[in-house]
Amino acid sequence: MSITDLLREDLRDFAGYRSARTESVAGDVWLNANESPWPNAGESAGVLRRYPDPQPDALRARLAELYGCAPAQLLAGRGSDEAIDLLVRALCMPGQGAVVVTPPTFGMYAVSARLHGVQVVEAPLRDTPGGLECDFHAVAGAALESDARLVFLCSPGNPGGTALPLERVAALAERLRGRALVVVDEAYQEYADSPSAVALLAAHANIAVLRTLSKAHALAGARIGSVIADPGLIAALRRCQAPYPLAAPCVHAALQALGAAEITATRANVAVVVAERARLAARLAGLPGVRRVYPSSANFLLVRFDDAQSAFERLLAAGIVVRDMRAAPGLGDALRITIGLPEQNDRVVEAIAEAAVTA
């Protein structure tokens, strides 16, 4: 069975929209896209008057090299959010079917599904001494029972920070072969001391991996994300994608950020974050009023408090904004704290210590 058999039946021969930039033609006078013949008055280079390449070869090649895949296995888009939406739209009929999620987790999986009228089936994470862990048996059962076409896993998890064992992901994909696509969201993979699920693609065509330049590569404002999967699925997703998903300045910024020197600097910054993650976790765990600090393989810590409201208010009073997780399932006393610069992390500790004193 081909992975493209999981596509919506009505989209299997869907050609999509062919924009002016998808045509392989050459010339020195370009009159095929109804663009202005003059540059914008505020942009001297004149680059922005032209529509951008939908999938720039240089960017795809550089991203493929970075993530350890072939360019034909990668589709670039507007952050991981677009990839999530494309997968739901391509595999799930509107108003039918199901996707499986593992709450507490990244909310866009459920948002994209619900906007498409697709049922969201939950297989909650288990709160264990080792952190928030995926119940793979429950995930498989939920997917098979609901006939879900998509299973969304987050590794390292958001907000828990737990990385998933690749052998368990592979076993899940094998169990769901021909039934569902297992999507592994690796937005925080750079901070993890574990291999990427991209290594599983050769043996499991029903695995897709999401990556982003928003976190470790500090390009959240450029909105560059990737989905890595079987080339047949990538080609189908490209047909479902908007004509010009990547703005030219954002592509330029991404290519600049992916140079050899810049990658070396990024890795050095990641090493600092990992060291600070351990230091901040140890300091927070020793504070009164801190109930638990979860182990994390990401660039944040999930922290439970005796009085989360007091801690949240004290942090805000100190000018520190963290993520309030109390509305998430099972996290009614928790905040998520991104790892900042060392001096910023020190301010977090000081503010929480003051909250404990005044509580």
Q: Hey, what domains does the chain have and what are their CATH numbers?
A: 7-258 (3.40.640.10), 262-358 (3.90.1150.10)
pLDDT, the chain, mean: 95
Single-letter code of the amino acid located at 108: M
The Cα–Cα gap between 173 and 177 comes to 6
Tokens of 122: 């939950």
Whether residue 70 has pLDDT greater than 70 = yes
Mean pLDDT of 3-29: 85
Cβ(97)–Cβ(147) below 8 Å? yes
356 confidence band (pLDDT: 50, 70, 90): low
Q: What is the pLDDT of residues 259-313, one digit of tens each?
A: 999 999 999 999 999 999 999 999 999 999 999 999 999 999 999 999 999 999 9
What's the pTM value of the predicted model, to 2 decimals?
0.95
Whether residue 24 has pLDDT greater than 80 = no
Percent of the chain with pLDDT strictly greater than 90: 85
Higher pLDDT, 20 or 195: 195
β partners of residue 47: none
Mean pLDDT of 213-225: 98
The Cα–Cα gap between 200 and 167 comes to 9
Mean pLDDT of 243-253: 95
The angle at the Cα of 233, spanning 228 to 235, to the nearest 5 degrees, equals: 95
Contacts of 68 (CB under 8 A, 6+ apart): 196, 198, 199
Torsion of CA 224, 11, 89, 24, to 10 degrees: 20
Cβ(182)–Cβ(145) below 8 Å? no
The Cα–Cα gap between 151 and 92 comes to 12
Beta-sheet strands, E only, within the chain: 74-77, 98-101, 119-122, 126-128, 131-133, 150-154, 181-185, 207-212, 225-228, 290-293, 300-305, 323-324, 334-338
Q: Which one, of 119, 158, 164, 168, lies nearest residue 142 by Cα?
A: 119
Alpha-helical regions (H) of 25-119: 57-67, 79-91, 108-115
Higher pLDDT, 356 or 122: 122
pLDDT at 31: 85
Q: Which one, of 52, 271, 299, lies nearest residue 159 by Cα?
A: 299
Whether residue 124 has pLDDT greater than 70 = yes
Mean pLDDT of 130-141: 98
The Cα–Cα gap between 162 and 294 comes to 9
190 Cα distance to chain centroid: 12
Q: Which one, of 246, 331, 316, lies nearest residue 52 by Cα?
A: 246
The Cα–Cα gap between 26 and 176 comes to 45
